[in-house]
Structure 1
């Protein structure tokens, strides 16, 4: 995914695109019998939030299928394995550990796929283990921003400043890394909020 991060105003088409793609992904993954949840995540899932025009999707699985099986299953709906802009591109093969949970290192493993990266249907699919803290954090962070417009607006301002700072970059890897500062500042708050809402 070449080029720097370019943020665009929120587009109500994004959740519609996500719903269509998630339906396709659910259908093609059904024969594998491993998927447990399907979510629209990331900034395009938060109404009113500016974002890169890549719709982020998340599928959680009890066990990561063999890579070749996932590649074969997702190919008919246009998703191909992501390679990252650089050898150390964040989030391609594993998530960086964060948050309050101490878990085995293997739970941070993931698979990442992209679709139509240069076109109007640009999408990213994260396949994470159900037990991965990131699988929960992405949903909690999304829902926390939806429920707290002031936090959403602070995040929008932060992202805009970071995008300007990295406007000359050849890719958006360093923009992605720079956003960690905001996540670090709000992790405890949104995690506590998410845990409270998750209690029966």
Structure 2
């Protein structure tokens, strides 16, 4: 995973264009492994919300009916500069599985995922490959969509992100910054 604390920058309108380019590349690369017509390709996270400050790393998500075999997936994504993310720490959130919210009772298998980072520092990005059945995958899209249409929620979220970035400015990674946003996101998507 990228090292260092979370550093927020003003929204860059180019992020949307870069996300489309990266998702198009991913669709082509994954076509030999999964039925891409049954997959969903999403630009998620703060870079997908116009006007919202974000870390300058585009978050992408692919939701597939099945997760491809790891070695085949790694080989398909490597030519595009994607490398499997090991996480900054052994307890880094969301590397191999998503964490269910309190009260979520879906079977364990739906939380499985693969996480990749772009090895190209000129095109920083993170890829979350989740199952189509993943409640977490649906929640990320629902949260993005609410932030796009609810200015008060967007302002409150940016304020929280700034507070967390300041509180964790001396950290060696942004894991605790990420964890600090979880309750806010769960509350926003529970409504």
Q: 1:174 aligns with which of 176, 182, 186?
A: 176
Distance in 2, matches of 1:102 and 1:10, equals 36
Structure 1 residues without counterparts, runs of 5 or longer: 190-200
- CA RMSD in angstroms, aligned pairs only: 1.3
After superposition, the C-alpha distances for 1:102-161 in whole angstroms (9 at most, x for unaligned) are 2101110100010036x2310000000000101110111100110101101110011001
TM-score under structure 2 length normalisation: 0.94
Instruction: Give 1:101 deviation, angstroms.
Output: 4.4
Q: 1:128 aligns with which of 124, 127, 130?
A: 130
Report runs of 4+ in structure 1 exceeding 4 Å deviation: none
Structure 2 residues without counterparts, runs of 5 or longer: none
Instruction: Give 1:100 deviation, angstroms.
Output: 5.8
Matched, 1:110 2:113: yes
Residue of structure 1 in register with 2:141 after alignment: 139
User: Would you say the 8 A contact 1:34–1:65 is kept in 2?
Assistant: no
Q: 1:47 aligns with which of 41, 50, 68?
A: 50
SS of residue matched to 1:179: helix
Residue of structure 2 in register with 1:194 after alignment: none
Alignment of 1:29-68 (within 5 A): 29-35=30-36, 36-68=39-71
User: Would you say the 8 A contact 2:63–2:132 is kept in 1?
Assistant: yes
Distance in 2, matches of 1:161 and 1:15, equals 26
- Tell me which moved more, 25-34 or 86-95: 25-34
Residue correspondences, number: 188
- Tell me which moved more, 144-153 or 27-36: 27-36
